Amino acid sequence: MKNTPITHIHESLGAKMADFAGYNMPIQYTSITDEHHSVRNNVGIFDVSHMGEFIVKGKEALDLVQKVTSNDASKLGKGEAQYSCLPNLTGGIVDDLLVYRLGEDMCNEGELAFMLVVNASNIEKDWNWISGFNQFDTRLIDISEKTGLLAVQGPKAIATLQKLTDINLSAIKYYDFTKGKIAGIDNVLISATGYTGSGGFELYVANENTEALWNAVMEAGSEFDIKPCGLGARDTLRLEMGYCLYGNDIDDTTSPLEAGLGWITKLKKLHPFNGVDLMLSLKERGLSKKLVGFTMEERRVPRHGYLIFDSDENEIGVVTSGTQAPSLDMPIGMGYIPTAFSTQGTKIFVQAGKKMLEAQVCALPFLKV
């Protein structure tokens, strides 16, 4: 297994560690519920240095990004980011990702530069996929092994980090970013994207500075009772917001349209993306299934892979994600079911062993923040 630059810190804190996408990652330190509430109410810090980062730069960098991603990167100004996905050629999703429009300091005159942030489990897969379509005057550079990434999340994130920088963090809009000095460390990319729904920032930093930055943030957040948080809380936080997790809710067989990601799927952008004709056809025919959220009527938690049935005990779908939602104190889940059953309030049943557990389709996100 690979380690992040601060794996030794997690181990020294007594974190429960596990293999995630080939990395030795902290799952929890105290409890998932405790860490979850820290992010919702105060501030928490995650080590997500396992994520992948690719630089795309050159005179035709935009052409490559437009070819391989579903969103419209031509709309990005310097210092802006967007959520997107890499469509495959059969209507599914290679991966979901973030696209950052970098400044001219990253490239030569007449060039553009982007950073693509991809899931840890898909770094090699995504690199090969994107490289296979690079027939442009563009360079691809994999900086994943050189880049540390900390996510400081929660309503006290600004108050915590503002102690460490002269940058006005309150001026950074959602899905904007800037580069500058934080905790005395130069060239930190400070991004307001987030995967928790509670606000905060992602801090991209050179590997060798990751430990110093972690320690500075922990000290700055001590008055707000900052907590180190693991991937367990990251999962419950994102699921309460209805955010998709690659490998669970989206994959090579699921369409972004079916997954409720039509808003990042620009079917009419000037430079069409891979598989756009398939998605245009799917939209014209109408969706046969959709990813929906549902709440359980009982206390039993729905798990990934559990089957979903209608009231006549016909199998109609499968659970993709499920958890006991700490902020809501109830079990919630997501899954694909036929469009005919996707109306809010529709009664469905989740099979857990021999039991059929009643559930109700609901609107996403589960938590309104």
Which superfamily does 7-46+146-240 belong to? Answer: Probable tRNA modification gtpase trme; domain 1 (3.30.1360.120)
The segment(s) of the chain belonging to CATH 3.30.1360.120 are 7-46+146-240
Confidence category of residue 331, pLDDT binned at 50, 70, 90: very high
pLDDT of residue 286: 96
Confidence category of residue 110, pLDDT binned at 50, 70, 90: confident
Find the mean pLDDT for residues 62-91: 98
Find the mean pLDDT for residues 275-285: 96
Q: Report the C-alpha gap between 297 and 155 in whole angstroms.
A: 31
User: Is domain 288-362 given the CATH code 2.40.30.110 in the classification?
Assistant: yes
Confidence category of residue 275, pLDDT binned at 50, 70, 90: very high
User: In this model, does residue 347 exceed pLDDT 90?
Assistant: yes
Confidence category of residue 9, pLDDT binned at 50, 70, 90: very high
Torsion of CA 274, 244, 193, 328, to 10 degrees: 160
Find the mean pLDDT for residues 242-271: 97
User: In this model, does residue 106 exceed pLDDT 80?
Assistant: no
User: In this model, does residue 324 exceed pLDDT 90?
Assistant: yes
pLDDT of residue 54: 98
Separation in Å, CA 102 to CA 96, 190, 194? 19, 12, 18
pLDDT of residue 90: 97
Contact partners, residue 72, CB within 8 Å, separation at least 6: 66, 266, 269
Could you report the per-residue pLDDT of 166-185, keeping only the tens digit for each?
A: 999 999 999 999 999 999 99
CB-CB neighbours of 1 under 10 Å: 12
The segment(s) of the chain belonging to CATH 2.40.30.110 are 288-362
Q: Report the C-alpha gap between 72 and 75 in whole angstroms.
A: 6
Confidence category of residue 369, pLDDT binned at 50, 70, 90: confident
* DSSP β-ladder status, 227-229 and 44-47: parallel
pLDDT of residue 36: 98
pLDDT of residue 109: 86
pTM of the model: 0.97
Find the mean pLDDT for residues 222-232: 98
- For 297, the token pair is 């009527």
3-state helix, strand, coil in the chain (%, to 5): 25, 35, 40
Which residue in 190, 195, 182, 51 sits closest to 126, CA to CA? 51
pLDDT of residue 78: 95
Sign, CA torsion 132/273/264/178: positive
CB 117 within 8 A of CB 53: yes
User: Which region among 97-106, 197-206, 340-349 has the lowest average model confidence (pLDDT)?
Assistant: 97-106
One-letter amino acid for residue 105 of the chain: D
Which residue in 285, 294, 281, 288 sits closest to 339, CA to CA? 288
